[in-house]
Amino acid sequence: MKEATFSVYITRGIIQYAAARYGVNTDELCAAVGIDSALLQMPDQRIPGTLHSAVWRESVKRTGDENLGLHLGEVFNLATFGIVGYVLVNCQTFREVLEKLSRYTRLFSQGAHIHFSVSEGMVLCDCDVVDDLRNYLVEEPRHAIESTFASLLTATKTLTGKPLRAHAIWFQYPRPADISEHERIFQTGLHFLMPTNRIIFDANCLNWLVLSANSNLLLVFEQHAEAMLDAMNRKDDYTRQVVQAIAQQLKGELPSIEAIARSLTISVRQLQRELQAEGTSFQQLLDETRKELSLRHLKNPNTPIHDIAFLLGFSEPSAFHRAFKRWTGQTPRNYRLSYV
């Protein structure tokens, strides 16, 4: 059975909190669980759940904090959340925040699925553990779920300026011996050994406005998130990994094959061999990814064409125009007009 993977953004957050709050030595912690500390500088990468769970266990051990997930959630910062964080801070309403969070959960965790529904004036926001993959959360859900729910409260206050008052919170796992920190943070009824992990709150909260909303930036960041999601949904091979890495690094500068190989912890020569075996090349994938992103960006009439050219790593708009005409037979402007 395939193993669920997790974004290094999450792993790095745990390790950095243990270091900042408790003085844990980062290199020693990484060495203890078998992670190269250099990986923390590549947060868009993914690691298997076995390694991620080892980070949780070792961090709890070294900090002595049995409520590490709760405390990490209390100081959650959306800026450390990668592309998903950029999407969320530019949503218009809290409803849209939850919708986007649900859609892009897989970009940071294959082990859990976040979704919500409305029933009798209440929002039921669930964090379901995925059980059709080899997934450490099936056996060790506590710290990850508690961190997720505490982070949601923190993020809501940051995004809307208003505290999210939960009516009740459900946890699938058994009640810990001491829940005083749970009671302090959540300030509501806590229920354990429930059918799912759920936070319940008033549906009127869905109408809250996000203070940092920017519809133009939302479209730009969501286009990158969609490209990353598309890459994840492809067959799990080097082609998919390279496309995903290019989409992540293509932010004003053209990524080199050396940079992509380094992010995948593979040599350039081996990467070239793997792509050749799959019937493609780095240059072909770079070209196709730039084309796909350009088509998505041009569908947003509020994003200037010269900004798109910059985002896709073109030295000047005329170079983008030539490339786009080669790809589609049209100029960017004509494509945009025909689409709109």
Mean pLDDT over 25-31 rounds to 96
CATH number at residue 61: 3.90.1520.10
Poorest-pLDDT segment among 67-76, 246-255, 325-334:
246-255
Q: Are residues 263 and 146 in the same domain?
A: no
Share of residues in the chain with pLDDT > 90 (%): 62
Q: Give the model's pLDDT for residue 266.
A: 84
Closest CA to 190 of 155, 151, 219, 149: 149
Q: What is the pLDDT of residue 264?
A: 84
How far is 106 from 113, CA to CA, in rounded Å? 7
Beta strand 122-129 with 112-119 is: antiparallel
172-182 pLDDT, tens digit per residue, is 999 999 999 99
DSSP conformational letter for 139: T
CATH number, domain containing residue 304: 1.10.10.60
Residue 274's φ and ψ, nearest 5 degrees, are -65, -45
What per-residue confidence (pLDDT) applies to 252?
77
Q: Where a domain ends, among 176, 191, 207?
A: 207
Q: Compute how many other C-beta atoms are within 10 angstroms of the C-beta atom of residue 211.
A: 11
DSSP β-bridge partners for residue 46: 7
Same domain, 200 and 232: no
Q: Are residues 236 and 197 in the same domain?
A: no
Pick from 113, 92, 119: nearest CA to 101? 113
Q: Quick one: pLDDT at residue 96? A: 98
> How many domains does one find in the chain?
2
Measured distance CA(318)–CA(18) in Å, rounded: 49
**Is 219 found in the same domain as 202?**
no
Find residue 122's DSSP bridge partners. Answer: 119, 202
Same domain, 34 and 157: yes
Enclosing domain of residue 321: 215-339
DSSP state of 111: S
Res. 234: pLDDT tops 70: no
Same domain, 248 and 317: yes
Same domain, 23 and 63: yes
Contact between 37 and 19 under an 8 Å Cβ cutoff? The reply is no
Kindly state the average pLDDT of the residues 96-120.
Answer: 94
Confidence of residue 231 (pLDDT cuts 50, 70, 90): confident
The b/e string for 94-130 (b: 16+ C-beta within 10 A; e otherwise) is bbbbbebbebbbbbbbbbbebebeeeeeebbbbbebb
CB 147 within 8 A of CB 167: no
Same domain, 99 and 203: yes
Which tens digits make up the pLDDT trace of 32-45? 999 988 889 888 88
Q: What is the mean pLDDT of residues 230-242?
A: 73
pLDDT tens track for 79-91: 888 899 999 999 9
